[in-house]
Amino acid sequence: MISILKSIWVILSYTFKKPVTVQYPEERPNLAPRFRGRIVLTRDPDGEERCVACYLCSSVCPVDCIAIQAAEDDRGRRYPKSFRINFSRCIYCGMCEEACPTLAIQLSPDFELAEYVRSNLVYEKEDLLISGPGKAPAYNFYHMAGLAISGKAKGQGVGEKAPVDIHSLLP
């Protein structure tokens, strides 16, 4: 009996509390940077595409919404010739972001993907690419990795030792 009156009193005290509602179209929600929204492809600090078309994101995608075609440029760098995400299938799980070895694919706090036509939700590479480095401002995969590309031989990367001479007997 007393607990019933107490709960009525608690609810009545809410008369003077502010509603928690965010009046969305007029008032924008304050979303965290790690919010899982629309997927973007970022660039490295030098302004070049990060994606190396390794297919890890499209393999890990549980709904198979990512389609990639790989290619290689004249410097020996791999890049995606086409990169297509079908946002009408995407479930925003973020597994592609976790799988990406070059931090290229990232989920952004934009969630306003409403469209009248379903086919408009298929985003091509030019729709996905952004001009900045996204959540990892300093990371440049080719500077870290021990991969030789034109302009950088093996052992010239950041914090990288010169390759071991396998023909020498000295330690």
Q: What would you report as the CA-atom Rg of the chain, rounded to the nearest whole angstrom?
A: 24
Among 19, 33, 47, 171, binds other proteins (CB under 8 A): 19
What is the distance between the alpha carbons of residues 111 and 171, in angstroms, rounded to a whole number? 56
CB of 63 to other proteins, least distance (A): 32
Element (DSSP H or E) covering residue 68:
strand 66-72
Query: What's the longest Cα–Cα distance across the chain?
Result: 89
- Return the number of the residue (13 or 131) whose C-beta is nearest other proteins: 13
Confirm or reject binding of residue 114 to other proteins (CB under 8 A). Answer: no
Span interacting with other proteins, options 17-25, 80-88, 137-145, 153-161, rule CB under 8 A: 17-25
Cβ neighbours of residue 146 closer than 8 Å, sequence gap 6 or more: 154, 155, 157, 160
Confirm or reject binding of residue 7 to other proteins (CB under 8 A). Answer: yes
- Return the number of the residue (28 or 161) whose C-beta is nearest other proteins: 28
Confirm or reject binding of residue 2 to other proteins (CB under 8 A). Answer: no
What is the distance between the alpha carbons of residues 129 and 134, in angstroms, rounded to a whole number? 11
Confirm or reject binding of residue 131 to other proteins (CB under 8 A). Answer: no
Give the interface with other proteins as residue ranges (CB under 8 A). Answer: 4, 7-8, 10-12, 14-15, 17-21, 23
